[in-house]
Structure 1
Protein backbone atom coordinates (compact mmCIF):
# COMPACT_ATOMS: atom_id res chain seq x y z
CA UNK A 1 0.00 0.00 0.00
CA UNK A 2 1.30 3.48 -0.91
CA UNK A 3 2.24 5.51 2.21
CA UNK A 4 0.06 8.51 3.01
CA UNK A 5 1.68 11.78 1.97
CA UNK A 6 -0.39 13.96 4.27
CA UNK A 7 1.11 17.25 3.08
CA UNK A 8 0.29 16.36 -0.53
CA UNK A 9 -3.23 15.22 0.32
CA UNK A 10 -3.91 18.41 2.24
CA UNK A 11 -3.26 20.45 -0.92
CA UNK A 12 -6.78 19.34 -1.92
CA UNK A 13 -8.24 21.51 0.86
CA UNK A 14 -10.07 24.41 -0.78
CA UNK A 15 -10.76 22.64 -4.07
CA UNK A 16 -14.24 23.26 -5.44
CA UNK A 17 -16.48 21.80 -8.10
CA UNK A 18 -20.02 22.48 -9.25
CA UNK A 19 -22.66 20.23 -10.78
CA UNK A 20 -26.20 20.79 -12.03
CA UNK A 21 -29.21 18.67 -12.92
CA UNK A 22 -32.87 19.34 -13.59
CA UNK A 23 -35.35 17.96 -11.06
CA UNK A 24 -37.82 15.86 -13.04
CA UNK A 25 -41.17 14.34 -12.20
CA UNK A 26 -39.78 10.95 -13.26
CA UNK A 27 -37.01 11.11 -10.64
CA UNK A 28 -39.56 11.97 -7.94
CA UNK A 29 -41.66 8.98 -8.99
CA UNK A 30 -38.67 6.62 -8.87
CA UNK A 31 -37.62 7.97 -5.47
CA UNK A 32 -41.12 7.50 -4.04
CA UNK A 33 -41.43 3.99 -5.46
CA UNK A 34 -38.06 3.02 -3.96
CA UNK A 35 -39.39 3.99 -0.52
CA UNK A 36 -42.74 2.20 -1.06
CA UNK A 37 -44.80 5.33 -1.70
CA UNK A 38 -47.26 5.62 -4.54
CA UNK A 39 -45.37 7.47 -7.31
CA UNK A 40 -48.30 9.77 -8.09
CA UNK A 41 -48.14 12.36 -10.84
CA UNK A 42 -45.80 15.15 -9.72
CA UNK A 43 -46.49 18.53 -11.31
CA UNK A 44 -44.30 21.52 -12.05
CA UNK A 45 -43.54 23.48 -8.88
CA UNK A 46 -44.43 20.65 -6.50
CA UNK A 47 -42.05 20.19 -3.56
CA UNK A 48 -39.91 17.07 -3.86
CA UNK A 49 -39.06 14.62 -1.06
CA UNK A 50 -36.20 15.70 1.19
CA UNK A 51 -32.88 13.89 0.54
CA UNK A 52 -33.68 13.52 -3.16
CA UNK A 53 -30.74 15.87 -3.75
CA UNK A 54 -28.45 12.87 -3.12
CA UNK A 55 -29.80 11.38 -6.36
CA UNK A 56 -28.99 14.45 -8.48
CA UNK A 57 -25.83 15.26 -10.46
CA UNK A 58 -23.69 12.30 -9.28
CA UNK A 59 -20.08 12.03 -10.46
CA UNK A 60 -20.02 10.57 -13.97
CA UNK A 61 -17.02 8.25 -14.02
CA UNK A 62 -16.75 5.99 -17.05
CA UNK A 63 -17.33 2.32 -16.31
CA UNK A 64 -13.78 1.47 -17.35
CA UNK A 65 -12.52 4.06 -14.83
CA UNK A 66 -14.06 2.24 -11.87
CA UNK A 67 -11.82 0.38 -9.46
CA UNK A 68 -12.22 -3.27 -8.42
CA UNK A 69 -14.69 -2.24 -5.70
CA UNK A 70 -16.85 -0.24 -8.12
CA UNK A 71 -15.73 3.16 -6.85
CA UNK A 72 -14.28 5.69 -9.31
CA UNK A 73 -10.50 5.85 -9.47
CA UNK A 74 -8.91 8.11 -6.84
CA UNK A 75 -8.00 11.69 -7.56
CA UNK A 76 -9.91 14.49 -9.24
CA UNK A 77 -12.05 16.52 -6.85
CA UNK A 78 -11.47 14.24 -3.85
CA UNK A 79 -7.89 13.63 -2.72
CA UNK A 80 -6.27 10.34 -3.86
CA UNK A 81 -6.09 8.75 -0.42
CA UNK A 82 -4.23 5.41 -0.84
CA UNK A 83 -6.44 3.44 1.55
CA UNK A 84 -8.73 0.86 -0.07
CA UNK A 85 -12.01 1.34 1.80
CA UNK A 86 -13.99 4.56 1.43
CA UNK A 87 -17.10 5.02 3.55
CA UNK A 88 -19.72 7.67 4.20
CA UNK A 89 -18.98 8.36 7.88
CA UNK A 90 -21.68 10.94 8.57
CA UNK A 91 -22.86 14.44 7.90
CA UNK A 92 -25.11 17.33 8.86
CA UNK A 93 -27.77 19.14 6.85
CA UNK A 94 -29.63 22.42 7.28
CA UNK A 95 -32.69 22.95 5.05
CA UNK A 96 -33.86 26.46 4.16
CA UNK A 97 -36.20 25.82 1.20
CA UNK A 98 -37.59 23.03 -0.97
CA UNK A 99 -36.37 21.58 -4.23
CA UNK A 100 -39.31 21.63 -6.63
CA UNK A 101 -40.19 19.74 -9.79
CA UNK A 102 -38.81 21.75 -12.70
CA UNK A 103 -35.96 23.33 -10.70
CA UNK A 104 -32.38 23.09 -11.84
CA UNK A 105 -30.40 22.05 -8.80
CA UNK A 106 -26.89 23.46 -8.54
CA UNK A 107 -24.44 21.89 -6.08
CA UNK A 108 -21.22 23.68 -5.16
CA UNK A 109 -18.82 21.41 -3.28
CA UNK A 110 -15.66 22.38 -1.40
CA UNK A 111 -13.06 20.21 0.34
CA UNK A 112 -13.00 21.74 3.83
CA UNK A 113 -10.50 19.59 5.74
CA UNK A 114 -8.39 16.42 5.75
CA UNK A 115 -7.05 14.74 8.87
CA UNK A 116 -5.32 11.43 9.60
CA UNK A 117 -5.38 9.46 12.84
CA UNK A 118 -4.68 5.97 14.10
CA UNK A 119 -7.72 3.96 15.21
CA UNK A 120 -8.20 0.49 16.67
CA UNK A 121 -8.33 -0.90 13.12
CA UNK A 122 -5.35 1.04 11.74
CA UNK A 123 -4.87 4.28 9.86
CA UNK A 124 -7.97 6.40 9.21
CA UNK A 125 -8.13 9.40 6.90
CA UNK A 126 -11.08 11.77 7.28
CA UNK A 127 -12.12 14.16 4.51
CA UNK A 128 -14.77 16.82 5.10
CA UNK A 129 -16.68 18.26 2.14
CA UNK A 130 -19.19 21.12 2.31
CA UNK A 131 -22.00 21.11 -0.26
CA UNK A 132 -24.18 24.14 -0.93
CA UNK A 133 -27.39 23.39 -2.82
CA UNK A 134 -29.26 26.11 -4.69
CA UNK A 135 -32.04 26.16 -7.28
CA UNK A 136 -32.66 29.15 -9.53
CA UNK A 137 -30.86 31.45 -7.04
CA UNK A 138 -32.81 30.08 -4.04
CA UNK A 139 -30.74 28.65 -1.18
CA UNK A 140 -32.08 25.12 -0.57
CA UNK A 141 -29.70 23.48 1.91
CA UNK A 142 -26.15 23.15 3.14
CA UNK A 143 -24.64 19.75 3.83
CA UNK A 144 -21.43 18.70 5.55
CA UNK A 145 -20.27 15.34 4.20
CA UNK A 146 -17.79 13.32 6.28
CA UNK A 147 -15.84 10.64 4.40
CA UNK A 148 -13.50 8.12 6.02
CA UNK A 149 -10.83 6.05 4.27
CA UNK A 150 -9.45 2.94 5.99
CA UNK A 151 -7.56 -0.28 5.35
CA UNK A 152 -8.72 -3.75 4.36
CA UNK A 153 -8.57 -5.34 7.80
CA UNK A 154 -11.42 -7.70 8.60
CA UNK A 155 -14.68 -6.07 9.69
CA UNK A 156 -14.55 -5.42 13.42
CA UNK A 157 -10.74 -5.45 13.39
CA UNK A 158 -10.58 -7.33 16.72
CA UNK A 159 -12.24 -4.45 18.57
CA UNK A 160 -14.53 -5.33 21.51
CA UNK A 161 -18.11 -6.05 20.50
CA UNK A 162 -20.24 -3.01 21.34
CA UNK A 163 -23.41 -3.51 23.41
CA UNK A 164 -26.78 -4.10 21.83
CA UNK A 165 -28.68 -0.95 20.91
CA UNK A 166 -31.35 0.34 23.28
CA UNK A 167 -35.04 0.26 22.39
CA UNK A 168 -36.49 3.64 21.46
CA UNK A 169 -39.90 4.95 22.45
CA UNK A 170 -40.69 5.10 18.72
CA UNK A 171 -39.81 2.09 16.57
CA UNK A 172 -40.17 0.91 13.01
CA UNK A 173 -38.58 -1.77 10.84
CA UNK A 174 -37.43 -1.81 7.23
CA UNK A 175 -36.51 -4.81 5.09
CA UNK A 176 -33.07 -3.93 3.62
CA UNK A 177 -33.65 -6.31 0.74
CA UNK A 178 -31.20 -6.69 -2.14
CA UNK A 179 -33.84 -5.06 -4.36
CA UNK A 180 -34.01 -1.97 -2.13
CA UNK A 181 -30.21 -1.69 -1.95
CA UNK A 182 -29.88 -2.12 -5.71
CA UNK A 183 -32.59 0.45 -6.42
CA UNK A 184 -30.95 2.98 -4.11
CA UNK A 185 -27.57 2.36 -5.76
CA UNK A 186 -29.24 2.96 -9.14
CA UNK A 187 -30.97 6.15 -7.96
CA UNK A 188 -27.66 7.57 -6.73
CA UNK A 189 -25.53 6.15 -9.59
CA UNK A 190 -23.42 4.38 -6.95
CA UNK A 191 -21.29 1.56 -8.34
CA UNK A 192 -19.83 0.47 -4.98
CA UNK A 193 -20.15 -3.32 -5.12
CA UNK A 194 -20.63 -3.87 -1.38
CA UNK A 195 -24.26 -2.77 -1.81
CA UNK A 196 -25.37 -5.15 -4.59
CA UNK A 197 -22.73 -7.80 -5.34
CA UNK A 198 -23.14 -10.55 -2.75
CA UNK A 199 -20.24 -12.79 -3.89
CA UNK A 200 -17.89 -9.80 -3.92
CA UNK A 201 -18.90 -8.41 -0.53
CA UNK A 202 -18.67 -11.78 1.24
CA UNK A 203 -15.60 -13.26 -0.49
CA UNK A 204 -13.49 -10.15 -1.12
CA UNK A 205 -14.52 -7.74 1.65
CA UNK A 206 -15.30 -10.38 4.28
CA UNK A 207 -18.72 -9.05 5.28
CA UNK A 208 -21.63 -11.41 6.07
CA UNK A 209 -23.97 -9.80 3.55
CA UNK A 210 -24.74 -6.74 1.46
CA UNK A 211 -23.97 -3.50 3.28
CA UNK A 212 -26.83 -1.01 3.78
CA UNK A 213 -25.77 2.40 2.44
CA UNK A 214 -25.06 5.14 4.96
CA UNK A 215 -27.08 7.72 2.96
CA UNK A 216 -29.97 5.25 2.71
CA UNK A 217 -30.01 4.80 6.49
CA UNK A 218 -29.86 8.58 6.94
CA UNK A 219 -32.78 9.02 4.52
CA UNK A 220 -34.83 6.38 6.35
CA UNK A 221 -34.13 8.03 9.73
CA UNK A 222 -35.02 11.48 8.35
CA UNK A 223 -38.31 10.18 6.97
CA UNK A 224 -38.98 8.43 10.31
CA UNK A 225 -38.35 11.72 12.15
CA UNK A 226 -40.72 13.50 9.77
CA UNK A 227 -43.50 11.03 10.57
CA UNK A 228 -42.96 11.40 14.33
CA UNK A 229 -42.70 15.22 14.33
CA UNK A 230 -45.41 15.72 11.74
CA UNK A 231 -43.11 17.95 9.65
CA UNK A 232 -39.69 17.70 8.00
CA UNK A 233 -36.89 18.65 10.41
CA UNK A 234 -34.95 21.79 9.49
CA UNK A 235 -31.68 20.37 10.82
CA UNK A 236 -30.43 16.81 10.74
CA UNK A 237 -27.05 15.32 11.67
CA UNK A 238 -25.95 11.68 11.54
CA UNK A 239 -22.91 9.50 12.14
CA UNK A 240 -22.18 5.92 11.14
CA UNK A 241 -20.87 3.65 13.91
CA UNK A 242 -20.96 0.11 12.50
CA UNK A 243 -22.15 -1.59 9.32
CA UNK A 244 -25.51 -3.32 8.96
CA UNK A 245 -26.44 -5.89 6.35
CA UNK A 246 -29.29 -7.31 4.33
CA UNK A 247 -29.25 -10.44 6.52
CA UNK A 248 -31.71 -9.03 9.11
CA UNK A 249 -34.38 -6.33 9.40
CA UNK A 250 -33.13 -2.77 9.84
CA UNK A 251 -34.70 -1.36 12.99
CA UNK A 252 -35.36 2.38 13.32
CA UNK A 253 -35.49 3.83 16.84
CA UNK A 254 -36.21 7.32 18.19
CA UNK A 255 -36.59 9.09 21.51
CA UNK A 256 -37.66 12.65 22.25
CA UNK A 257 -34.70 14.92 22.94
CA UNK A 258 -36.42 18.17 23.87
CA UNK A 259 -39.09 20.34 22.22
CA UNK A 260 -39.18 19.59 18.50
CA UNK A 261 -36.06 17.41 18.73
CA UNK A 262 -35.38 13.70 18.38
CA UNK A 263 -32.50 11.32 18.96
CA UNK A 264 -32.59 8.50 16.40
CA UNK A 265 -30.60 5.35 15.65
CA UNK A 266 -30.58 2.24 13.49
CA UNK A 267 -29.62 -1.31 14.46
CA UNK A 268 -30.10 -4.92 13.48
CA UNK A 269 -32.10 -7.02 16.00
CA UNK A 270 -29.81 -7.58 18.99
CA UNK A 271 -27.03 -5.63 17.29
CA UNK A 272 -25.20 -2.43 18.21
CA UNK A 273 -26.13 1.03 17.03
CA UNK A 274 -25.28 1.27 13.34
CA UNK A 275 -26.10 4.94 12.78
CA UNK A 276 -27.05 7.66 15.26
CA UNK A 277 -28.76 10.90 14.32
CA UNK A 278 -30.32 14.06 15.72
CA UNK A 279 -33.29 15.91 14.20
CA UNK A 280 -34.35 19.46 15.15
CA UNK A 281 -37.03 21.91 14.15
Structure 2
Protein backbone atom coordinates (compact mmCIF):
# COMPACT_ATOMS: atom_id res chain seq x y z
CA UNK A 1 0.00 0.00 0.00
CA UNK A 2 1.48 3.34 -1.04
CA UNK A 3 1.93 6.22 1.34
CA UNK A 4 -0.56 8.21 -0.76
CA UNK A 5 -3.35 5.85 0.28
CA UNK A 6 -2.41 5.61 3.96
CA UNK A 7 -3.87 8.31 6.19
CA UNK A 8 -3.85 6.65 9.64
CA UNK A 9 -0.52 6.60 11.45
CA UNK A 10 0.12 4.90 14.78
CA UNK A 11 -0.55 8.02 16.84
CA UNK A 12 -3.86 8.63 15.06
CA UNK A 13 -4.93 5.03 15.58
CA UNK A 14 -4.07 5.19 19.27
CA UNK A 15 -6.17 8.36 19.57
CA UNK A 16 -9.14 6.81 17.78
CA UNK A 17 -8.94 3.64 19.84
CA UNK A 18 -9.14 5.72 23.01
CA UNK A 19 -12.86 6.05 22.18
CA UNK A 20 -13.42 2.39 23.12
CA UNK A 21 -15.59 2.25 26.21
CA UNK A 22 -17.26 5.63 25.71
CA UNK A 23 -20.98 5.66 26.34
CA UNK A 24 -23.96 7.79 25.44
CA UNK A 25 -27.55 7.68 26.69
CA UNK A 26 -30.49 9.12 24.75
CA UNK A 27 -34.22 9.19 25.43
CA UNK A 28 -37.15 9.30 23.02
CA UNK A 29 -40.84 8.50 22.66
CA UNK A 30 -42.27 5.91 20.28
CA UNK A 31 -44.80 8.09 18.46
CA UNK A 32 -47.19 7.10 15.68
CA UNK A 33 -46.12 9.59 12.99
CA UNK A 34 -42.86 7.92 11.93
CA UNK A 35 -44.60 4.53 11.91
CA UNK A 36 -47.21 5.83 9.47
CA UNK A 37 -44.47 7.34 7.32
CA UNK A 38 -42.36 4.19 7.08
CA UNK A 39 -45.41 2.04 6.41
CA UNK A 40 -46.23 4.22 3.42
CA UNK A 41 -42.60 4.30 2.26
CA UNK A 42 -42.41 0.48 2.30
CA UNK A 43 -45.73 0.34 0.40
CA UNK A 44 -47.52 -1.49 3.19
CA UNK A 45 -51.26 -1.47 3.85
CA UNK A 46 -51.02 -1.40 7.64
CA UNK A 47 -53.78 -0.34 9.99
CA UNK A 48 -53.18 3.16 11.38
CA UNK A 49 -50.88 2.89 14.43
CA UNK A 50 -52.28 3.79 17.82
CA UNK A 51 -51.20 3.54 21.44
CA UNK A 52 -50.10 -0.04 22.06
CA UNK A 53 -49.30 -0.89 18.43
CA UNK A 54 -46.20 -3.11 18.41
CA UNK A 55 -43.23 -1.55 16.64
CA UNK A 56 -42.07 -3.72 13.73
CA UNK A 57 -38.50 -5.09 13.83
CA UNK A 58 -35.87 -2.52 12.81
CA UNK A 59 -38.40 0.31 12.96
CA UNK A 60 -36.68 1.55 16.12
CA UNK A 61 -34.24 3.12 13.63
CA UNK A 62 -36.88 5.84 13.25
CA UNK A 63 -36.07 7.05 16.76
CA UNK A 64 -33.04 8.35 18.70
CA UNK A 65 -32.13 10.34 15.59
CA UNK A 66 -29.21 12.79 15.58
CA UNK A 67 -30.48 16.38 15.40
CA UNK A 68 -27.32 18.37 14.84
CA UNK A 69 -27.56 22.03 14.00
CA UNK A 70 -26.94 22.94 10.35
CA UNK A 71 -23.67 24.64 11.28
CA UNK A 72 -22.43 21.39 12.84
CA UNK A 73 -22.63 19.37 9.61
CA UNK A 74 -19.60 18.34 7.57
CA UNK A 75 -19.23 18.44 3.79
CA UNK A 76 -20.81 14.99 3.37
CA UNK A 77 -23.99 16.02 5.20
CA UNK A 78 -23.14 14.07 8.37
CA UNK A 79 -22.26 15.77 11.63
CA UNK A 80 -18.60 16.75 11.81
CA UNK A 81 -16.34 14.06 13.22
CA UNK A 82 -15.96 13.73 16.96
CA UNK A 83 -18.32 13.55 19.91
CA UNK A 84 -19.59 10.07 20.76
CA UNK A 85 -18.15 8.44 17.63
CA UNK A 86 -14.38 8.76 17.07
CA UNK A 87 -13.23 11.51 14.64
CA UNK A 88 -12.03 9.14 11.90
CA UNK A 89 -10.17 11.15 9.20
CA UNK A 90 -11.41 8.97 6.34
CA UNK A 91 -14.03 10.51 4.04
CA UNK A 92 -16.28 7.55 3.17
CA UNK A 93 -18.37 5.92 5.88
CA UNK A 94 -20.95 3.21 5.45
CA UNK A 95 -23.25 1.01 7.52
CA UNK A 96 -21.48 -2.36 7.27
CA UNK A 97 -23.91 -4.61 9.14
CA UNK A 98 -25.23 -5.53 12.54
CA UNK A 99 -26.71 -8.08 14.93
CA UNK A 100 -29.97 -7.55 16.80
CA UNK A 101 -32.15 -9.40 19.28
CA UNK A 102 -35.69 -8.59 20.43
CA UNK A 103 -37.37 -9.77 23.62
CA UNK A 104 -40.67 -11.39 22.60
CA UNK A 105 -42.07 -10.72 26.06
CA UNK A 106 -41.33 -6.98 25.92
CA UNK A 107 -41.74 -5.45 22.45
CA UNK A 108 -41.55 -1.71 21.91
CA UNK A 109 -45.01 -0.24 21.35
CA UNK A 110 -46.39 3.11 20.27
CA UNK A 111 -46.66 5.24 23.40
CA UNK A 112 -43.52 3.91 25.06
CA UNK A 113 -41.00 6.29 26.59
CA UNK A 114 -37.67 4.67 25.70
CA UNK A 115 -33.99 4.97 26.51
CA UNK A 116 -31.00 3.89 24.44
CA UNK A 117 -27.61 3.35 26.06
CA UNK A 118 -24.76 3.05 23.56
CA UNK A 119 -21.16 1.98 24.03
CA UNK A 120 -18.17 1.97 21.67
CA UNK A 121 -17.16 -1.70 21.77
CA UNK A 122 -14.20 -1.68 19.40
CA UNK A 123 -12.20 0.41 16.92
CA UNK A 124 -10.34 -1.90 14.51
CA UNK A 125 -7.94 -0.98 11.72
CA UNK A 126 -7.31 -3.02 8.58
CA UNK A 127 -5.07 -2.29 5.61
CA UNK A 128 -7.14 -2.84 2.49
CA UNK A 129 -5.99 -2.97 -1.12
CA UNK A 130 -7.15 0.62 -1.64
CA UNK A 131 -5.98 2.09 1.65
CA UNK A 132 -6.98 2.18 5.28
CA UNK A 133 -10.21 0.70 6.60
CA UNK A 134 -11.46 1.45 10.09
CA UNK A 135 -14.30 -0.53 11.66
CA UNK A 136 -16.20 0.88 14.62
CA UNK A 137 -18.57 -1.38 16.54
CA UNK A 138 -21.26 0.20 18.70
CA UNK A 139 -23.53 -1.71 21.09
CA UNK A 140 -26.99 -0.33 21.86
CA UNK A 141 -29.42 -1.40 24.59
CA UNK A 142 -32.96 -0.06 24.28
CA UNK A 143 -35.26 -0.16 27.28
CA UNK A 144 -38.80 0.91 28.09
CA UNK A 145 -40.60 1.09 31.41
CA UNK A 146 -40.84 -2.72 31.44
CA UNK A 147 -37.11 -3.35 30.95
CA UNK A 148 -34.77 -4.35 28.13
CA UNK A 149 -36.46 -4.69 24.74
CA UNK A 150 -33.79 -4.52 21.98
CA UNK A 151 -30.06 -5.24 21.91
CA UNK A 152 -28.11 -4.20 18.85
CA UNK A 153 -24.52 -4.29 17.65
CA UNK A 154 -23.90 -1.83 14.82
CA UNK A 155 -20.84 -2.00 12.54
CA UNK A 156 -19.61 1.16 10.78
CA UNK A 157 -16.79 1.13 8.22
CA UNK A 158 -14.70 4.15 7.24
CA UNK A 159 -12.74 4.13 3.98
CA UNK A 160 -10.32 6.31 2.07
CA UNK A 161 -11.56 8.36 -0.86
CA UNK A 162 -11.97 6.58 -4.18
CA UNK A 163 -8.95 6.72 -6.47
CA UNK A 164 -9.01 6.44 -10.28
CA UNK A 165 -8.34 2.89 -11.37
CA UNK A 166 -8.41 1.42 -7.87
CA UNK A 167 -9.16 -2.33 -7.72
CA UNK A 168 -12.76 -3.34 -7.16
CA UNK A 169 -13.56 -6.40 -5.02
CA UNK A 170 -14.88 -9.25 -7.20
CA UNK A 171 -18.67 -9.60 -7.02
CA UNK A 172 -20.34 -12.64 -5.46
CA UNK A 173 -23.12 -14.52 -7.18
CA UNK A 174 -26.29 -15.66 -5.39
CA UNK A 175 -28.55 -18.68 -5.29
CA UNK A 176 -31.54 -18.54 -7.61
CA UNK A 177 -35.08 -19.63 -6.88
CA UNK A 178 -35.73 -18.30 -3.37
CA UNK A 179 -39.11 -19.20 -1.89
CA UNK A 180 -39.98 -15.54 -1.24
CA UNK A 181 -38.96 -12.75 -3.57
CA UNK A 182 -39.69 -9.10 -4.25
CA UNK A 183 -38.38 -6.51 -6.71
CA UNK A 184 -37.77 -2.96 -5.49
CA UNK A 185 -37.23 0.12 -7.63
CA UNK A 186 -34.91 2.40 -5.60
CA UNK A 187 -35.83 5.70 -7.22
CA UNK A 188 -34.75 9.01 -5.74
CA UNK A 189 -38.20 9.52 -4.20
CA UNK A 190 -37.86 6.35 -2.13
CA UNK A 191 -34.36 7.37 -1.03
CA UNK A 192 -35.53 10.89 -0.17
CA UNK A 193 -38.46 9.62 1.90
CA UNK A 194 -36.29 7.22 3.89
CA UNK A 195 -33.63 9.90 4.43
CA UNK A 196 -36.34 12.26 5.69
CA UNK A 197 -37.85 9.67 8.04
CA UNK A 198 -34.43 8.93 9.57
CA UNK A 199 -33.22 12.56 9.46
CA UNK A 200 -30.26 11.33 7.45
CA UNK A 201 -28.40 14.18 5.77
CA UNK A 202 -25.71 11.98 4.18
CA UNK A 203 -25.43 13.34 0.64
CA UNK A 204 -24.64 9.97 -0.95
CA UNK A 205 -28.37 9.18 -0.79
CA UNK A 206 -29.81 12.26 -2.54
CA UNK A 207 -27.08 14.46 -4.06
CA UNK A 208 -26.10 12.92 -7.40
CA UNK A 209 -23.39 15.47 -8.15
CA UNK A 210 -21.73 14.88 -4.77
CA UNK A 211 -21.91 11.09 -4.82
CA UNK A 212 -20.55 10.80 -8.37
CA UNK A 213 -18.01 13.63 -8.45
CA UNK A 214 -16.73 13.63 -4.85
CA UNK A 215 -17.14 10.05 -3.60
CA UNK A 216 -16.75 8.45 -7.01
CA UNK A 217 -19.84 6.22 -7.10
CA UNK A 218 -21.93 5.69 -10.25
CA UNK A 219 -25.24 6.72 -8.68
CA UNK A 220 -27.14 7.44 -5.48
CA UNK A 221 -26.52 4.79 -2.84
CA UNK A 222 -29.47 2.93 -1.37
CA UNK A 223 -29.32 3.11 2.44
CA UNK A 224 -28.00 -0.07 4.04
CA UNK A 225 -30.61 0.17 6.84
CA UNK A 226 -33.36 0.52 4.22
CA UNK A 227 -32.27 -2.68 2.47
CA UNK A 228 -32.05 -4.48 5.82
CA UNK A 229 -35.53 -3.22 6.73
CA UNK A 230 -36.89 -4.38 3.37
CA UNK A 231 -35.38 -7.86 3.86
CA UNK A 232 -37.04 -8.25 7.26
CA UNK A 233 -40.23 -6.77 5.81
CA UNK A 234 -40.20 -9.50 3.13
CA UNK A 235 -40.19 -12.11 5.89
CA UNK A 236 -43.02 -10.30 7.70
CA UNK A 237 -45.12 -10.29 4.53
CA UNK A 238 -44.83 -14.07 4.18
CA UNK A 239 -44.85 -14.99 7.88
CA UNK A 240 -47.10 -12.27 9.37
CA UNK A 241 -47.86 -14.16 12.58
CA UNK A 242 -44.24 -14.91 13.49
CA UNK A 243 -42.24 -12.80 15.95
CA UNK A 244 -38.80 -11.75 14.74
CA UNK A 245 -36.49 -12.36 17.70
CA UNK A 246 -33.13 -12.03 15.98
CA UNK A 247 -31.48 -10.65 12.88
CA UNK A 248 -27.88 -10.46 11.74
CA UNK A 249 -26.82 -8.99 8.43
CA UNK A 250 -23.79 -7.86 6.46
CA UNK A 251 -23.54 -5.36 3.62
CA UNK A 252 -21.43 -6.86 0.82
CA UNK A 253 -21.68 -4.45 -2.10
CA UNK A 254 -23.28 -1.02 -2.64
CA UNK A 255 -26.70 -0.81 -4.28
CA UNK A 256 -27.37 2.15 -6.57
CA UNK A 257 -30.54 3.82 -7.67
CA UNK A 258 -30.01 3.26 -11.40
CA UNK A 259 -31.66 -0.18 -11.63
CA UNK A 260 -34.19 -2.32 -9.67
CA UNK A 261 -32.82 -4.71 -7.07
CA UNK A 262 -34.23 -7.94 -5.71
CA UNK A 263 -34.98 -9.22 -2.21
CA UNK A 264 -34.88 -12.94 -1.47
CA UNK A 265 -35.77 -15.10 1.53
CA UNK A 266 -35.52 -18.85 2.07
CA UNK A 267 -37.08 -20.30 5.26
CA UNK A 268 -35.52 -23.32 6.93
CA UNK A 269 -37.33 -26.66 7.00
CA UNK A 270 -38.44 -26.11 10.60
CA UNK A 271 -39.52 -22.52 9.93
CA UNK A 272 -37.41 -21.12 12.77
CA UNK A 273 -34.88 -19.27 10.65
CA UNK A 274 -34.99 -17.51 7.31
CA UNK A 275 -31.93 -16.85 5.18
CA UNK A 276 -32.27 -13.50 3.41
CA UNK A 277 -30.23 -11.76 0.76
CA UNK A 278 -30.43 -8.87 -1.67
CA UNK A 279 -29.00 -8.79 -5.18
CA UNK A 280 -28.53 -6.05 -7.73
CA UNK A 281 -29.84 -6.00 -11.30
CA UNK A 282 -26.80 -7.97 -12.47
CA UNK A 283 -27.47 -10.73 -9.94
CA UNK A 284 -24.58 -9.87 -7.60
CA UNK A 285 -24.97 -10.23 -3.84
CA UNK A 286 -25.33 -6.86 -2.04
CA UNK A 287 -26.51 -7.87 1.45
CA UNK A 288 -26.98 -11.15 3.28
CA UNK A 289 -28.39 -12.11 6.65
CA UNK A 290 -30.40 -14.47 8.81
CA UNK A 291 -33.71 -13.87 10.58
CA UNK A 292 -34.65 -15.88 13.68
CA UNK A 293 -38.36 -16.38 14.37
CA UNK A 294 -40.03 -17.14 17.69
- State the TM-score bracket (shorter-chain normalisation): over 0.9
Query: Which secondary structure state, in structure 1, belongs to the residue aligned with residue 182 of structure 2?
Result: strand
Q: Verify: 1:159 aligned to 2:164, yes or no.
A: no
CA distance in 1, matches of 2:164, 2:235: 30
Could you tell me how far 1:257 is from its partner in structure 2?
4.0
Could you tell me how far 1:196 is from its partner in structure 2?
0.8
Match of residue 288, structure 2, among 251, 276, 279: 276
CA distance in 1, matches of 2:243, 2:228: 13
Match of residue 224, structure 2, among 204, 214, 222: 214
Match of 1:84 in 2: 91
Could you tell me how far 1:142 is from its partner in structure 2?
0.2
Could you tell me how far 1:41 is from its partner in structure 2?
2.8
Q: After TM superposition, list the pairs within 5 Å mapping 1:182-197 onto structure 2.
A: 182-197=192-207
CA distance in 2, matches of 1:192, 1:47: 29
Contact 2:182 2:264 in 1 (8 A): yes
With structure 1 as the length reference, what TM-score do the two structures score?
Answer: 0.94
Match of residue 151, structure 2, among 135, 142, 152: 142
Match of 2:137 in 1: 128
Contact 1:94 1:141 in 2 (8 A): yes
Contact 2:25 2:115 in 1 (8 A): yes
Match of 2:13 in 1: 6
- CA 1:156 to 1:148, structure 2 compared with 1: closer, same or farther past 3 Å? farther
Match of residue 252, structure 1, among 247, 263, 276: 263
Contact 1:93 1:144 in 2 (8 A): yes
Could you tell me how far 1:248 is from its partner in structure 2?
0.8
CA distance in 2, matches of 1:38, 1:225: 15
Contact 2:7 2:132 in 1 (8 A): no
Query: Which secondary structure state, in structure 2, belongs to the residue aligned with residue 165 of structure 1?
Result: coil
Stretches of structure 2 that go unaligned for 5 or more consecutive residues are 1-5
Could you tell me how far 1:229 is from its partner in structure 2?
3.5
Query: Which secondary structure state, in structure 1, belongs to the residue aligned with residue 83 of structure 2?
Result: coil
Match of 1:243 in 2: 254
Corresponding residue pairs, total: 281
Query: Which secondary structure state, in structure 2, belongs to the residue aligned with residue 78 of structure 1?
Result: coil
- CA 1:155 to 1:58, structure 2 compared with 1: closer, same or farther past 3 Å? farther
* Structure 1 stretch displaced more, 66-75 or 43-52: 43-52
Query: Which secondary structure state, in structure 2, belongs to the residue aligned with residue 20 of structure 1?
Result: strand
CA distance in 2, matches of 1:75, 1:195: 22
Could you tell me how far 1:237 is from its partner in structure 2?
0.3
Match of residue 112, structure 1, among 121, 131, 137: 121
Q: After TM superposition, list the pairs within 5 Å mapping 1:5-44 onto structure 2.
A: 5-38=12-45, 40-44=47-51
Query: Which secondary structure state, in structure 2, belongs to the residue aligned with residue 29 of structure 1?
Result: helix
With structure 2 as the length reference, what TM-score do the two structures score?
Answer: 0.90
Match of 2:100 in 1: 93
Query: Which secondary structure state, in structure 1, belongs to the residue aligned with residue 264 of structure 2?
Result: strand
